Structure 1
């Protein structure tokens, strides 16, 4: 791929991460376990796990945002660093969203056929968590589709460089 295409993809991912970080951070800054329990009576440990997963996602998105900023600001543009950054964003941010560490939610692959949201929760979450996930899900889908190329291309390059 040309440098211009890769740079435009980094810029697109940068905008996505800025938006995602803002939305997730705003939510976390105003949310507590007590607030979630008042919103919907439920399993406190599950709610704590949900917030933990969301915080982890936020950290990965912030790290990806920082890396994209460095790549975009580099003169001259370094295509290899950009591709590595996009690969890392795919594996940390996108994977963490669709398949979180503690498995408290998961992606329902059949949702593409039903038109429903792909994220399904193991237990029913408070409405505010459901709303946050629905707000960001579409953007995560879009960026995943954009970055799937880097998933296979970067791995292929890594395997070829070892031989």
Structure 2
């Protein structure tokens, strides 16, 4: 891939992360455990795990945004650093959104065939949580499709270097 393509992807990802960070911050600044418990009659521990995961995602996205900013502002574009950053973003932000480590929610793989949102919760959640994920999912899906290349390319390079 040429430098201009990688640089363009970095710019797209930086904009995506900027919007995502803003969305997560707004949600987390306005939403407390008490608010979720008032809106839904769900399990408090489950709500805590969702909020915890959202805070982790926010941190990952903030760090990724900063990494993109630094790479894009450097005097000379560092393609290798950019590719490695995009690979890491794929795992820390995109994959964590669709399949968090603590299993607070999951991706329904069949949703691609139905045209419906793919994020599913293990228990019923308040509408504000559903709306948050519904609003973010298409952008995460778009970026995931763009960055999947780095997943396979990085693995191929690692195998070849052995």
Q: TM-score, normalised to structure 1's length?
A: 0.97
Aligned-pair CA distance for 1:158: 2.2
Could you tell me which residue of structure 1 aligns to residue 101 of structure 2?
101
Aligned-pair CA distance for 1:48: 0.5
SS in 2 for 1:20: helix
Q: Which residues of structure 2 form unaligned runs of 5+?
A: none
Matched residue pairs, number? 162
Aligned-pair CA distance for 1:160: 2.1
User: How far apart, in 2, do the equivalents of 1:62 and 1:146 lie?
Assistant: 19
User: How far apart, in 2, do the equivalents of 1:51 and 1:79 lie?
Assistant: 35
Equivalent residue runs for 1:8-157 within 5 Å: 8-157=8-157
SS in 2 for 1:95: helix
User: How far apart, in 1, do the equivalents of 2:46 and 2:90 lie?
Assistant: 26
Could you tell me which residue of structure 2 aligns to residue 160 of structure 1?
160
User: How far apart, in 1, do the equivalents of 2:102 and 2:85 lie?
Assistant: 25
User: How far apart, in 2, do the equivalents of 1:83 and 1:158 lie?
Assistant: 13
Aligned-pair CA distance for 1:157: 1.4
Q: TM-score, normalised to structure 2's length?
A: 0.98
Q: Which residues of structure 1 form unaligned runs of 5+?
A: none
SS in 1 for 2:120: strand
Root mean square deviation of aligned Cα: 0.8
User: How far apart, in 2, do the equivalents of 1:124 and 1:20 lie?
Assistant: 24
Aligned-pair CA distance for 1:159: 2.5
Query: Segments of 4+ in structure 1 off by > 3 A?
Result: none
User: How far apart, in 2, do the equivalents of 1:82 and 1:123 lie?
Assistant: 38
